[in-house]
């Protein structure tokens, strides 16, 4: 169900301090804390003795002391103290690779030796003085994360779910283009000579109709990049020169599965105007939260509907992008599992059979 050798967002950087911070990610329990040098540590939240969560213990300098019998582990998961005895060789805790980028703590949920920070999406505009930013707190969505990737590869749903904000009549029937890449799937379309959607109308610099592009992209394992382009009617198109009054907004969405039916949703947005206008940022954040709440309600109901279905569900033509993404991710998970199985076999010790020797029995 989950791709392990990949980066997932664990939390906002400002929330991880020099305190034990437990989180459930991908059906695993981890404990995070920030060392005194600023490095974020992530360990399996279980002492190897009796599996008491380490988060129920205490932080001593940069080491975690178990709250049951005092076994103490450093940031690499190595036991550095065991009460009244030599430290057992098996007294280790799994550690996870972490890094920080875009104000977020990222964790590599698989083999730490394979962690590659270059695989985190690159955002050239982040921190650029000409681009404004708004962001929101992490949201909990009561559904499987793949229902969310379905949603984020579906420009059509805005016509119904976000009718008063992001959608308009042009979002109903305009055909979609689906592109499969090495890193994921892109669903996009241009809509020409149409009204500006209600949410954006007060921010565009031009009057009258627009050419609008919807760019919905999800990269493995669950990172979505949604780009909105509004340009005066007659100036749009992939090969067109960028109009000086073009409106650009890039939304970055990072989905972290908690378990099979719960997902944490982190997001921020960048815009090519009003970089230092706090009121514009507030308006965008409020509008986006409202739209995301509409999605949250729908997706929670979808999860319940799929769990309780008594008849088969169907797919529509507009589901092509989500289906391709699911197939690509499924293939990566299978490849990862096969590789892990092969590695386990190669490291398994060779068992040399002991030759039996007959022992004479007394008369």
Distances (CA, A) of 64 to 136, 145, 179, 193, 321: 31, 32, 47, 61, 45
Measured CA to CA, the distance from residue 24 to residue 10 in angstroms comes to 9
User: Other CB atoms closer than 10 Å to residue 127's CB: what's the count?
Assistant: 10
- Measured from the Cβ of residue 64, the count of other Cβ atoms closer than 10 Å reads 25
Residues of the chain with pLDDT under 50: 354, 356-363
pLDDT score at 269: 95
Q: Are 85 and 221 part of one and the same domain?
A: no
Q: Of 174, 203, 222, whose CA–CA distance to 6 is shortest? A: 222
Q: What is the DSSP string of 135-151?
A: EEEEEEESS-HHHHHHH
pLDDT for the residue 356:
44
Kindly state whether residues 79 and 149 are assigned to the same domain: no
In a domain, 286, yes or no: yes
Q: Please state, in angstroms and rounded to a whole number, the distance separating the CA atoms of residues 197 and 167.
A: 6
Residue 255 tokens read as 């989905």
Which residue among 69, 97, 118 closes a domain? 118
In a domain, 276, yes or no: yes
Q: Could you tell me if 187 and 291 lie in one domain?
A: yes
Residue 267 lies in a domain: yes
Q: What pLDDT digit, counting tens, does each position of 75-126 carry?
A: 999 999 999 889 999 999 999 999 999 999 999 999 999 999 999 999 999 9
Confidence (pLDDT) at 352: 52
For residue 282, give the CATH number of its domain: 3.90.380.10
Provide the pLDDT for residue 59: 98
H/E run at residue 11: strand 7-12
CB 8 within 8 A of CB 106: yes
Q: What is the pLDDT of residue 140?
A: 95
Residue 79 DSSP symbol: E
In a domain, residue 320? The reply is yes
How many domains does the chain contain in total?
2
Phi, psi of 49 (to 5 degrees): -70, -70
Quick one: pLDDT at residue 160? 66
* CATH value at residue 19: 2.102.10.10
Token pair for residue 278? Answer: 């706090």
Give the pLDDT confidence score for residue 294 in this predicted structure.
86
Tokens 């230092």 correspond to what residue? 276
Q: Which residues pair with 231 in a beta bridge?
A: 211
Domain that holds residue 217: 128-326
Q: How far is the C-alpha of 198 from the C-alpha of 179, rounded, in Å? A: 28
Q: Residues 148, 193: one domain?
A: yes
Q: What is residue 31's predicted lDDT score, i.e. its pLDDT?
A: 98
Q: Token pair 């799929």 is at which residue?
A: 306
d(CA 330, CA 3): 9
> Are residues 154 and 84 located together in one domain of the fold?
no
Per-residue model confidence (pLDDT) at position 358: 44
Q: How far is CA 57 from CA 46, 82, 93, 99, in A?
A: 10, 14, 14, 24
Q: Is residue 295 part of a domain?
A: yes
Return d(Cα 207, Cα 186) in angstroms, integer: 30
pLDDT attached to residue 161:
67
Query: Is 358 among the domain residues?
Result: no
Residues 169 and 109 in one domain: no
Angle, helix 278-307 to helix 145-152, in steps of 10 degrees? 120
Asked if 61 and 204 sit in the same domain, the reply is no
Q: What is the pLDDT of residue 165?
A: 53
> What is the value of pTM for the model shown?
0.90
CA distance 349 to 269: 51
Q: State the DSSP string of 213-253.
A: EEEEEEETTTEEEEEEEEEETTS-STTSPPPTT-EEEEEEE
């Amino acid at each position: 169900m989950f791709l392990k050798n990949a980066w997932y967002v664990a939390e906002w950087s400002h929330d991880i301090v020099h305190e034990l911070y437990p989180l459930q990610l991908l059906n695993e329990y981890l404990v995070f804390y920030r060392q005194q040098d600023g490095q974020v540590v992530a360990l399996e939240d279980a002492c190897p003795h009796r599996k008491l969560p380490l988060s129920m213990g205490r932080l001593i300098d940069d080491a975690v002391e178990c709250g049951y019998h005092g076994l103490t582990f450093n940031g690499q998961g190595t036991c550095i103290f065991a009460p009244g005895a030599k430290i057992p060789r098996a007294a280790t805790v799994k550690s996870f690779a972490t890094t920080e980028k875009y104000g977020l703590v990222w964790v590599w949920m698989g083999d730490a030796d394979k962690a590659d920070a270059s695989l985190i999406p690159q955002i050239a505009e982040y921190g650029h003085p000409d681009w404004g930013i708004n962001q929101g707190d992490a949201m909990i969505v009561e559904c499987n994360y793949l229902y969310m990737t379905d949603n984020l590869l579906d420009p059509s749903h805005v016509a119904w779910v976000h009718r008063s904000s992001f959608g308009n009549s042009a979002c109903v029937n305009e055909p979609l283009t689906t592109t499969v890449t090495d890193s994921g799937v892109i669903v996009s379309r241009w809509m020409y000579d149409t009204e500006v959607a209600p949410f954006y109308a007060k921010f565009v610099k031009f009057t009258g109709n627009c050419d609008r592009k919807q760019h919905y992209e999800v990269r493995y394992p669950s990172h979505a990049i949604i780009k909105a382009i509004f340009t005066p009617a007659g100036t749009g198109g992939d090969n067109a020169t960028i109009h000086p009054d073009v409106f650009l907004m890039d939304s970055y969405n990072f989905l972290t599965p908690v378990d099979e039916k719960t997902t944490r949703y982190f997001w921020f947005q960048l815009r090519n105007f009003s970089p230092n206008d706090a009121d514009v940022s507030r308006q965008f954040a409020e509008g986006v939260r409202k739209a995301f709440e509409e999605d949250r309600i729908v997706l929670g109901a979808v999860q319940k509907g799929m769990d309780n279905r008594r008849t088969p569900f169907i797919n529509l033509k507009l589901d092509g992008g989500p289906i391709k993404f699911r197939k690509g991710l499924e293939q990566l998970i299978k490849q990862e599992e096969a590789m892990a199985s092969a590695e386990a076999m190669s490291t398994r010790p060779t068992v040399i059979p002991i030759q039996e020797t007959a022992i004479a029995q007394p008369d």
